[in-house]
Amino acid sequence: MRDLLLLGIETTCDETAAAVVRRRADGSGTILSNIVRSQTSDHAPYGGVVPEIASRAHVEVIDTIIEQALRSSAVKLVELDGIAAAAGPGLIGGVIVGLTTAKAIALAARKPLIAVNHLEAHALTARLTDAVPFPFLLLLVSGGHTQLVAVTGVGEYVKLGGTIDDAIGEAFDKTAKMLGLPYPGGPAVEAAARTGDALRFALPRPLYGRPTPDFSLSGLKTAVRLEALKIAPLADQDVADLCASFQAAVVDLLADRVRCALRLMREHGLAPHALVLAGGVGANQAVRRTLHKVAADGGTRLAVPPPELCTDNGAMIAWAGAERLALGLTDDLATSPRARWPL
Ligand code: KG4
Ligand code: ZN
C-alpha cells in the first residue's frame, strides 16, 4: 500500500469546501489544504438555510474553491489518486453541484471517483486528527443531524439512536430565533447562557432514562416558548436565564443518552476506544466539559476534532475518500446524488 492523495469536495449544506489530504500507508493522514467558504451571511436574514440560495451560491464559487485547494496544497491534478465528493445526505441542489463537479474532474483527469456519505465523513474524521482505532462511539450533533453510531470499521456503522424530531443544532437555532438572538443560534445561546441562571426554569428532559439512546427536542423547545410567553416582554436577564436553562437541559440529555449508548456497545461486546464528538454543536464548551466526564466515567475518552474539522469541510470528505480508496472502494460515474442516505 502506498500513500494516497485525495481531493475532497463538500456542498451538502451551506459550506462550499474543498481540500487535499494525504493518507500514508500506515493509516495516518495530513491535511495539505482545506478551503471553506461559508454561506452563513447569505442565509442569516432568513434565520436558517434557504436551499435555493445555497445551491446557487455553491455554483458560483465551487471552481474557485477547488482551484484554491489545489494551489495551496501544491499538489497537481495529475498527482491525485482520487476525487471524492459528498454524494449526500443533504440539500439535493447543493449535492448535485459538488458531485457533478467531482465527476467532471474525475472523467477529465482519468481518476477514480469516490462518492462519500457525509455522515461517514464526520464519523471518520477522528481517525485523521486523533488516530482513533475501531471500534468507537460517534455522537454527531449538527444543525441537520443528531445520531449515536457504533463505528466498527470503514463502512461498518450501527446506528444506536437518533432524534425523533428536531436535530439538536436546529433546537439551538430555533430557541435563539424565539428569544430574538441572531443566527446561527448555537454560539449566541451559549454566549447568553454564560450570564444566566440555569436553575430558574424547570424545563423537561424528554426521553431521559429510556433504554434506547434516542432524542426528542420539540417538547423542550415548546417549553422554552411557553416560559418566554409568560414573561414577555423579555429583559436581557430573562433571555440569559432561558438560554442557560435550555442549554442545561440539552447537556443533561446528551450525557444520559451517551451513557446509554456506551452501555449498549459494551453489552454487544464492543469496548469503545473513544467517544468521538462531531458536528457544530461539538463547539459548545458546556457540552464538551460534560461529555469529557461522561466518557471518562464510562471507561473511555472524549475525542473531539478541532472546531474547523467538526463543522462541514472538504478535508473530512477527502479523508473518508482516502479511507475507502485504501480498501479499493470506488464509485461509478453514474452514481446518483442522494438527499437521504442513512449510514
Ligand atoms: O456541523 P454544522 O456546522 O453544520 C451542519 O448543520 O451540518 O452545525 C451547525 C449547527 C447549528 O445548528 C449551530 O447553531 C450549531 O451547530 N452550533 C452550536 C454551537 N456552534 C454551532 N450549538 C451549540 N453551541 C455552540 N457553540
Ligand atoms: Zn455535517
Domain extents for the chain?
4-127+309-326, 134-272
Task: Choose among 327, 276, 302: nearest CA to 123.
Answer: 276
DSSP assignment of 142-203 equals SSS-EEEEEEEETTEEEEEEEBSS--HHHHHHHHHHHTTPPSSHHHHHHHHHTTS-TTSS--
Q: Which residues line ligand 1 (CB under 6 A)?
A: 13, 142-144, 169-170, 172-173, 184-187, 190, 279-281, 283-284, 311-312
pLDDT for 46 equals 86
Q: Is 34 annotated as a binding residue?
A: no
The DSSP bridge pattern shows strands 29-38 and 156-162 to be unpaired
pLDDT for 48 equals 82
Question: Ligand 1 atom closest to Cα of 176?
Answer: 14
170 alpha carbon, closest ligand: 1
Total residue count of the chain as it appears in this document: 343
- Nearest CA owner, ligand 1 atom 8: 280
Identify residue 58 by its one-letter amino acid code.
H
Measured CA to CA, the distance from residue 17 to residue 36 in angstroms comes to 4
Q: Which CATH superfamily is domain 4-127+309-326 in?
A: ATPase, nucleotide binding domain (3.30.420.40)
Is 280:170 a contact under the CB 8 Å cutoff? no
Q: How far is the CA of 280 from the centre of ligand 1 (A)?
A: 3
- Nearest CA owner, ligand 1 atom 6: 143
pLDDT for 204 equals 98
DSSP-based three-state secondary structure for 256? helix
Q: Is 141 annotated as a binding residue?
A: yes
Q: How far is the CA of 199 from the centre of ligand 2 (A)?
A: 32
Q: What is the pLDDT of residues 266-278, one digit of tens each?
A: 999 999 999 999 9
Question: Ligand 1 atom closest to Cα of 310?
Answer: 1
pLDDT for 44 equals 86
Q: Is 229 annotated as a binding residue?
A: no
Q: What is the pLDDT of residues 48-61, one digit of tens each?
A: 889 999 999 999 99
Please state, in angstroms and as integers, the Cα–Cα distance from residue 167 to each residue in 138, 160, 214, 218, 221, following that order: 15, 16, 11, 9, 11
Q: How far is the CA of 120 from the centre of ligand 2 (A)?
A: 10
Largest Cα span, the chain: 65
ipTM of the complex: 0.98
User: Is the pTM of the predicted complex or chain greater than 0.90?
Assistant: yes
Q: Is 122 annotated as a binding residue?
A: yes
What the block records as the C-alpha cell of 57 is 451560491
Per-residue pLDDT of the chain (343 residues; tens, 9 = 90+): 789 999 999 999 999 999 999 999 999 999 999 999 999 889 988 878 899 999 999 999 999 999 999 999 999 999 999 999 999 999 999 999 999 999 999 999 999 999 999 999 999 999 999 999 999 999 999 988 999 999 999 999 999 999 999 999 999 999 999 999 998 899 999 999 999 999 999 999 999 999 999 999 999 999 999 999 999 999 999 999 999 999 999 999 999 999 999 999 999 999 999 999 999 999 999 999 999 999 999 999 999 999 899 889 999 999 999 999 999 999 999 999 999 999 8
DSSP-based three-state secondary structure for 56? helix
CA atoms within 13 A on the CB side of 190: 16
Question: Ligand 1 atom closest to Cα of 170?
Answer: 12
- CATH topology match: 4-127+309-326 vs 134-272: yes
- Nearest CA owner, ligand 1 atom 2: 280
Q: How far is the CA of 227 from the centre of ligand 2 (A)?
A: 31
Q: Is 33 annotated as a binding residue?
A: no
Distance in Å from the first CA to the final CA of the chain: 27
Q: Which CATH architecture has domain 134-272?
A: 2-Layer Sandwich (3.30)
Q: Is 143 annotated as a binding residue?
A: yes
